[in-house]
Amino acid sequence: MGQIRYTYAFRQRIHKIARINSEIIEPMSTSREGEMNDRSASKLGDNTANSSPLWPWFGGYALFDYWVDTWQRSILLLDVLRQRGNNCAEHNARKAPNVLSFDAELVLDGRSLPRPVNYALVRIVPPVDVSIDPGKRPFIVFDPRAGHGPGIGGMKHDSEIGVALAAGHPCYFVGFLPDPMPGQTIADVCEAETRFVEEVVRRHPDAEGKPCLVGNCQAGWQIMMMAAIHPEKVGPIMLAGSPLSYWAGVHGKNPMRYLGGLLGGTWLTSLAGDLGNGIFDGANLVANFEALHPDNTYWKKIYNVYSKIDTEPPRFLEFEKWWGSPVLLNAEEMQTIADQLFVGNKLSCGELRSSNGTRVDLRNIKSPIISSARGGTTSRRRSRRWIGSSISTPTRTRSPKLARRSSIVCTKALGTSVFSSLAKWRRRSMASLPSRWT
């Protein structure tokens, strides 16, 4: 922020110099006291009356002002991009990089579990002006491990964590480290998340209900797998931009759905894992997100900063700190996601099985489920098509409950928790879930 203030002051200083220069080159108006000779006074008087500048070509002043403004904005934009690079290097050098805007204390380290994972459960320390009711249902926010680092669920005070705290709920956060544990699998992460939920329940024996689980994007289908295996341990589930039906979509839209067939399957995923010696770089996933909207990636995002150079840099730098800090996954993890989910679509079809052979059936979930999505990588069909197939299956024992609300939107799957309009709705509804929703 100190550098931002410096660039703003620098811009103001340049503006002042430009104004002085423009005053020097502007023609002087005729003095009423007759300080100039008659010939000069006559010429300048005519120029003033006609409002035509003394410049070699028409519109010279406007062109000069435009050139000065372009020069200033270009220098300041380059300075913002420099800060982005410095912030990225500084952020990634931290032991546990994240973009949380709240203080947190470690509760359970996933690396200490029998099947170690690089996940961790932390308790969010409420701000001094926030009062927490220990009798209210605790909230657990699970962050997506889809290439980016942790913290998007609590990057702003109007985010999911901020909403839960403002309503007086104890709040926990499940994040992860940049490097995976050797041999870590998707099944290991599911078991670790089960252990995290058990720990929160143990710490709040007098709560009005079981913890509410909030999953953004990738974390959404991850906790749905965990809830399908252990349905008795979870409370209400909130899915924010979480794809569960990977074959769903609209004909002619969401072109990423067709890449698996056009590129010959998931061999590129295997190749990337082999080139990484068993490690898959999350930057590849970030590149796929950016490929959805190349116009935004290569033009709109940067031009938005250029056109609003006096006000936009703080927001831009804050978001880029998260967006530009990819993490790593084990190649086996990414291969499982590509084969079993993206191509196989086995989660919504009920064909997925856990490491001990248990069938992952979403119909086992007894808790209410609140789903929200729109466009981007997660269309409404991809996030909700599994509901229709589960309800229409005649052999079901109990179908999941769903609270639909078409006004909840998320422009991109990973951007759900950033928007204040969504956060305001959650303050009125999700943060006040009735105790009967166990």
Q: Is residue 208 part of a domain?
A: yes
Annotate 360-390 with DSSP letters as a single string: --GGG--SEEEEE--STTS-HHHHHHHHHHH
Q: 279-281 and 328-330 as β-strands: parallel, antiparallel, unpaired?
A: antiparallel
- CB of 386 within 8 A of CB of 242? no
Helix (H) or strand (E) holding 67: helix 60-92
- Same domain for 160 and 35, yes or no, is no
Q: Count structural domains, the chain.
A: 2
pLDDT at res. 430: 55
| Domain around 75 | 2-92
Measure the CA–CA gap between 135 and 169, rounded to whole angstroms: 8
Q: Which two tokens stand for residue 77?
A: 């934009």
- CB of 101 within 8 A of CB of 156? yes
Q: Is residue 437 part of a domain?
A: no
pLDDT at res. 355: 79
- Same domain for 222 and 270, yes or no, is yes
Q: 119-124 and 279-281 as β-strands: parallel, antiparallel, unpaired?
A: unpaired
pLDDT at res. 410: 33
- Same domain for 119 and 80, yes or no, is no
- Same domain for 27 and 136, yes or no, is no
Say which CATH number the domain at 121 has: 3.40.50.1820
- Same domain for 216 and 273, yes or no, is yes
Q: Is residue 20 part of a domain?
A: yes
pLDDT at res. 432: 55
- Same domain for 10 and 156, yes or no, is no
Q: Is residue 40 part of a domain?
A: yes
- CB of 320 within 8 A of CB of 88? yes
Q: Is 238 helix (H, G, I), strand (E, B) or coil?
A: strand
What pTM, to 2 d.p., does this model score? 0.76
CA 195-197-203 angle, to 5 degrees, is 105
- Taking each helix axis from N to C end, the angle separating 218-229 and 186-203, rounded to the nearest 10 degrees, works out to 70
- CB of 292 within 8 A of CB of 59? no
- Same domain for 160 and 209, yes or no, is yes
- Same domain for 67 and 209, yes or no, is no
Give the gyration radius of the chain's Cα atoms: 28
Nearest to 379 by CA among 404, 412, 427: 412
b/e string for 250-263 if b means 16 or more Cβ within 10 A? Answer: eeeebeebeebeee
- Same domain for 117 and 51, yes or no, is no
- Same domain for 157 and 204, yes or no, is yes
* Per-residue pLDDT tens listing for the chain (438 residues): 444 444 555 556 555 545 544 554 344 334 434 444 444 444 444 444 444 454 556 667 788 888 999 999 999 999 999 999 999 999 988 888 888 889 999 999 999 999 999 999 999 999 988 899 989 999 999 988 988 888 887 777 777 888 889 889 999 999 999 999 999 999 999 999 999 999 999 999 999 889 999 988 888 889 999 999 999 999 999 888 777 777 766 666 666 666 666 777 788 899 999 999 999 999 998 888 888 788 888 999 999 999 999 999 999 999 999 888 899 999 999 999 988 888 888 888 888 888 788 888 888 888 888 877 655 444 555 555 555 555 444 333 344 444 433 322 333 333 333 344 444 544 445 555 555 555
Q: Exposure of 349 by Cβ count < 10 A (0-12 exposed, 13-18 middle, 19+ buried)? A: middle
pLDDT at res. 388: 52
Annotate 24-65 with DSSP letters as a single string: HHSPPPPPTT--S-HHHHHHHHHHHHHT--SSSSTTHHHHHH
